[in-house]
Amino acid sequence: MLRLLLLSAALRCAAEQAAPLAFTMLQLTRVYMGNSMFRGNASLNGQLSHLLDGNNVTQVLPLEPPDAWARRREEVDTYLRNFRQLVQLFNKERPTNFTQHLCCHLGCRLYPNGTAQSFYEVTLNRTAFLSFHVPNATWQRRWPGELPVAAYAQKQLMNYPTTTQDLQYFLNTTCVSILRAQSASTGKVSGRSRTPLVLGLVLGSLALLGIALGIFLCTGGSC
Domains plus CATH for the chain? 21-183 (3.30.500.10)
What 8-state DSSP symbol labels residue 172? I
Q: Does this model's pTM top 0.85?
A: no
223 residues of the chain, pLDDT tens digit each: 434 333 444 434 444 456 789 988 888 888 888 788 888 888 888 888 888 888 788 888 877 778 878 887 887 787 778 778 877 777 776 677 778 888 888 889 999 998 999 999 988 888 898 899 999 999 999 988 777 777 877 887 888 787 888 888 888 888 888 788 777 765 444 444 444 445 555 555 556 655 654 555 444 444 4
**Alpha carbon separation from 213 to 104, 165, 208, 217 (Å, rounded):** 16, 20, 8, 6
